[in-house]
Amino acid sequence: MAESLSTAVAILKKNKLKMTKQRHALLEFLLTNQAHYTDVVTVDAYMRTEFPGMSHNTVYRNLKEFEEVGIVEQNTEQERARVKYQCDLHHQHHHHFVCQNCGKVIELQMCPMDFFSDQLPGCEIAGHSFELYGLCAECKAAGVQEQDLVKN
């Protein structure tokens, strides 16, 4: 965690963002929970417990700035914004498998775009996002069944 924190601090400094005690606490929270996406509302509640005078706007602005400089990843599930600490600060383009039971996030090591690009001759792809959902190995081994899950 110390290496990731020092890397994040270096990224903030490089992008001329001050390291405040609030940002430090936010980074530590995200690092502690980096194996899962966390609802932004949960992050906001945690930060406002640690810093009672902190506004909602400050929390959301910091998360947005962290996303802009590549420290935080964001996605939306059922219209709820969720964030997590960037899996790989050196290779930001990547994809995930997300367990629908426990919420564990596993980074995928390849991008499927070559497969799709080959099927779209003459087309220009401007961007993409790609996540797989299902059961992680631990949940599957514990006997969780796919039919027990809420479908995305």
Annotated binding site: 93, 99, 102, 128, 136, 139
Strands 38-39 and 72-77: unpaired
What ranges make up the beta strands (E) of 1-148?
A: 38-39, 72-77, 80-85, 95-99, 105-108, 131-134
Residue set of the binding site for Fe cation: 93, 128
Q: Which of 146, 123, 121, 124 is nearest to 133 (CA)?
A: 146
Q: Which of 39, 76, 79 is nearest to 60 (CA)?
A: 39
Residue set of the binding site for Zn(2+): 99, 102, 136, 139
Query: Which token pair is 115?
Result: 């497969």
Query: Which token pair is 68?
Result: 């802009």
- Cβ atoms of 54 and 25 closer than 8 Å: no
